[in-house]
Chains A and B, each alone.
Chain A
Amino acid sequence: MDLFTGLAHTLYSTLHDVFPIVAVVIGFQVLVLRRPIPNLGKSLIGFVYVLIGLTLFLAGLERALFPLGKLMAYQLTSPTFLGGDPVSASGLVRWQDYGWVYVFAAALGFATTLAEPALIAVAVKAQSVSGGTVRVWGLRVAVALGVAIGITLGTYRIVTGTPLHYYIIAGYVIVVIQTVFAPRAIIPLAYDSGGVTTSTVTVPLVAALGLGLASTVPGRNVLIDGFGLIAFASLFPIITVMGYAQLSDWWSLRRKQRQASAKDDDN
C-alpha cells in the first residue's frame, strides 16, 4: 500500500512539474502558430513515457538511494565517525580530519552526475548536432569530473569556513581565461553544462551532504555555510568541459605534427 501511495504522490508532483510546460507548448502551437502538433499520437505517447519515467525514477530514488545517501552523508560527517574530537587543542578545525568526506563528495558528485537525466538529454542532442565530434560519453564524463572537483572543493570550503564568493569568483576568472583559448564551438555547450548538471539526482544528495557537514563541523552555521555546494557543482563543469575540448584539440594537433614529422623523416 505504502508503495502505491508513494507512487501516486510522486506522480502528482511530476504532473505539477510537467503541466506548465505542456500548457505553454500546446497553447502556443494551437493558438498562436495555429498548427496541428506533428505526429500527435506519437508525441503524446512520448510525453506519457516522460511522465511515467520521471515518476518511477523519482519514486525509486526516494525509496532506495536518497534515504541511504542522506544517512551516509550524516554518518560520514558525524564526529564519532571522524574519530572523537576533530577540533585540535587550539580550538581550530583541522581540515585533514575530513578525508573520507572529500572522497565521498567526489565519488558522489561523479556518480550522481552520470545518472542525471537532463545531462543525458543535452549530451544526446550535442552529439547529433555536432555530427559526432562531441561524444555523449566524453561530455558526460567531463561534466561528472567537473562536479566531482566542484563538490570536493565545496566540502573543503564548508570545513574551513572560507567565504563562498572567493572560490566562485576565482572560478569565473578561470572560465574567462579558458574562453579565450578554448575552441569556439565548444563554448556554448560548456556554459550550458554548468546548469544541467544539478537537478533531480544530484541536488538532494549534495544538499544533504552540505547541511550535514555544516551542522557537525564546529563553528559553522547551517543556514549560511550549508549552501553553496550546488554553486560549485554548476561552475566547475564549465571548466572541465572546456578543458576536455582543449585537450582533445591539442592531442589531435600533436598527432598531426607527429605524422608530418614522420613523413619528413621518410623523405
Chain B
Amino acid sequence: MLSFIRSSIRDLLPIVFVIAFFQFAVLRQPFPNVDDLLVGVVFVVLGLTFFTRGLEQGLFPIGEAIAHGFARKGSLVWLLIFAFALGFGTTIAEPALIAIADEAAKVAAQAGAIESNEASMRNYARGLRVTVAFSVGVAIVVGVFRILKGWPLHYLIIGGYIGVVVITIFAPPEIIGIAYDSGGVTTSTVTVPMVTALGVGLATSIRGRNPLVDGFGLIAFASLTPMIFVMIYGMLI
C-alpha cells in the first residue's frame, strides 16, 4: 500500500506545483482556505491510491475473465450484444456527457435551432445523450469485430477521420465545437480500464492476435464515432 501511496503523490506533485507557481509567482496572491486545500489534497492522494489498487484487483481481472469467457463460448452475437451494452450503458450515465449535453442545448436554443424553453432544451439534451451513448455502443461493437477479424486499425480510423471531415462541411457551425469535444469526454475513468481489459483479453485469447497490436483501439473508436453522430444529430434537428 505504501508504494501505491508514494506513486500517487508523485502523480499529483506536478499539479500542486503548477497551481502553487501561478498563485504565488504570477498572480501574486496567497492561497485562500488553506485547510480546505490540505484536506482536499490528502483526499486526492488517498483516492488515487485506492483507485489504482482496485483497478488491478477488480476491474482488470473481471474485464479479462469476461473476454476469455466469450472467446471460449464462441458466441459472436452475444459478444457483440455485450459490447454494445457496455458502450451504451457506461456512456448514458456519464456525468461529463450530461454536462456537455446541457451546454449543447443552450447553444442550439441560442442559434434558434430549437425553441428556447425548458422542455425543448431538455428534450434536445436527452436526445443528444442517447445519440452519443448509441454511437459509443456502435464503436465498441465495431472495435470488437475488428479484433476478431484482425483488421488493421488505422484503415478504419482514417476512414472515420474522412467521415468527420466530410460531415463537418455540412454540419451547422455552432454544433462543431461540441461535437468535436464530445469525442473526448465520453470515455470515463471507469469505462477506460474496463474496455481496455476487454480488448486485451479478447486479443490474448484468440489465436493469432497480438494483444498490443489488436487489443488496443477500442477507445479510439469510442472517441471517434460520437463526433460523427453528434454532427448528424445537429443537422437533423
Are B217 and A234 in contact (CB-based, < 8 A)?
no
Are A195 and B47 in contact (CB-based, < 8 A)?
no
Are B184 and A233 in contact (CB-based, < 8 A)?
yes
Contacts of B184 in A (CB 8 A): 194-195, 197-198, 203, 230-231, 233-234
A129-B168 contact, Cβ under 8 Å, with A57-B47, A194-B220, A230-B185: no
> By DSSP majority rule, is chain A's interface helix, strand, loop, or mixed?
helix
CB of B86 within 8 Å of the partner chain:
yes
CA distance A56 to B218 in the complex (A): 28
Question: A15-23, A87-95, A248-256, A258-266: which one contacts chain B?
Answer: A15-23
Contacts of A48 in B (CB 8 A): 54, 58
CB of B161 within 8 Å of the partner chain:
yes
Are A125 and B44 in contact (CB-based, < 8 A)?
no
Most chain B Cβ neighbours within 10 Å, of A47, A58, A195:
A195
> By DSSP majority rule, is chain B's interface helix, strand, loop, or mixed?
helix
Are B212 and A185 in contact (CB-based, < 8 A)?
yes
Contacts of B194 in A (CB 8 A): 21, 25
Are B61 and A38 in contact (CB-based, < 8 A)?
yes
The interface on chain A, measured as residues whose beta carbon lies within 8 A of the other chain's beta carbons, has a size of 106
Residue of B whose beta carbon sits closest to that of A175? B161
Are A120 and B52 in contact (CB-based, < 8 A)?
yes
Interface size, B (range)? 35 or more
Question: A48-60 CB contact bits vs B (8 Å, 1 = yes)?
Answer: 1111111111111
Are B212 and A126 in contact (CB-based, < 8 A)?
yes
Are A188 and B223 in contact (CB-based, < 8 A)?
no
Are B61 and A43 in contact (CB-based, < 8 A)?
yes
Question: B62-89 CB contact bits vs A (8 Å, 1 = yes)?
Answer: 1101100110010100100010011001
**Least Cβ distance of A20 to chain B in Å?**
4
A189-B212 contact, Cβ under 8 Å, with A23-B89, A69-B19: yes
CB of B211 within 8 Å of the partner chain:
yes
Residue of B whose beta carbon sits closest to that of A211? B103
CB of B129 within 8 Å of the partner chain:
no
* Interface residue ranges of B19-34 to A (CB < 8 Å): 19, 21-23, 26-27, 31-32
Are B11 and A120 in contact (CB-based, < 8 A)?
yes
CB of A75 within 8 Å of the partner chain:
yes
Cross-chain pair count, CB within 8 angstroms: 350
Are B196 and A125 in contact (CB-based, < 8 A)?
yes
Are A56 and B44 in contact (CB-based, < 8 A)?
yes
Q: A63 is contacted by which of B36, B73, B82, B95 (Cβ under 8 Å)?
A: B36
**Least Cβ distance of B210 to chain A in Å?**
8
A231-B217 contact, Cβ under 8 Å, with A53-B50, A58-B47, A224-B107: no
CB of B191 within 8 Å of the partner chain:
yes
CA distance A266 to B56 in the complex (A): 50
**Least Cβ distance of A138 to chain B in Å?**
14
* Interface residue ranges of A108-146 to B (CB < 8 Å): 108, 110-112, 114-118, 120-122, 124-126, 129-130, 134
Are A53 and B36 in contact (CB-based, < 8 A)?
no
Contacts of A116 in B (CB 8 A): 189
A227-B66 contact, Cβ under 8 Å, with A60-B47, A64-B36, A185-B212: no
Q: A46 is contacted by which of B55, B65, B107, B177 (Cβ under 8 Å)?
A: B55
Contacts of A20 in B (CB 8 A): 89-90, 92-93
Are B57 and A42 in contact (CB-based, < 8 A)?
yes
Contacts of A176 in B (CB 8 A): 158, 161
Residue of A whose beta carbon sits closest to that of B29? A75
Contacts of A45 in B (CB 8 A): 54, 57-58
**Least Cβ distance of B234 to chain A in Å?**
13
**Least Cβ distance of A229 to chain B in Å?**
8
Contacts of A25 in B (CB 8 A): 62-63, 66, 86, 194
> Can you sample 16 A-B contacts with CB below 8 Å?
A17-B94, A18-B190, A25-B86, A43-B61, A50-B51, A58-B47, A76-B22, A107-B21, A111-B17, A121-B55, A184-B213, A188-B217, A191-B154, A195-B184, A223-B110, A230-B181
B residues near A (Cβ < 8 Å) are 11-12, 14-15, 17-19, 21-23, 26-27, 31-32, 36-63, 65-66, 69-70, 73, 75, 78, 82, 85-86, 89-90, 92-96, 103, 106-107, 110, 153-154, 157-158, 161, 164-165, 168, 173-174, 176-178, 180-181, 183-194, 196-197, 200, 210-220, 222-223
Closest 5 CB pairs of A and B: A46-B58, A64-B40, A49-B54, A60-B43, A57-B47
Known contacts A20-B90, A75-B27, then 7 further A-B pairs from the complex at CB < 8 Å, ordered by chain A residue: A46-B61, A50-B51, A61-B44, A65-B15, A76-B26, A117-B51, A121-B52
